[in-house]
Amino acid sequence: MLNGYLGPDEYYLLKDIPDLIKVLKDDCEPYIINQNEINIIGKLISNKGIIEPSHIRLNEGKVVVIDGPLLGMEGLIEKLDKRKGRVKLRVNFMSESRLIELSVSMVEPI
């Protein structure tokens, strides 16, 4: 398997593994995730496979990420729910624009 490419033999080998939920694919063959999408997912997920909350603060109505997986991704944040401590992030995945919700921790300005 090379960067998402599966030949028919590899596909059927994976398909028969118990507890493997799903191989991403279109109508005919496994879906190849482009490098930009892999980079965003890799940045969000820690070594434990968990998306940790980012620390943010508001500066003149704009979200500023202090640290965490959202650092440098402020431009992708579409909505902030301060009460729930959640942001909605617009990302492209599998050639579609998707809105994902992530946890954040609000930091008060000094």
- Supply the pTM of this predicted model: 0.65
Structure tokens at 89: 């992030």
pLDDT at residue 6 is higher than 90: no
Per-residue pLDDT at 23: 58
Predicted confidence band at 1 (pLDDT cuts at 50, 70, 90)?
very low
Can you spell out the DSSP letters for 67-110? ESTTTT-GGGEEEEETTTTEEEEEEEETTEEEEEEEEEEE----
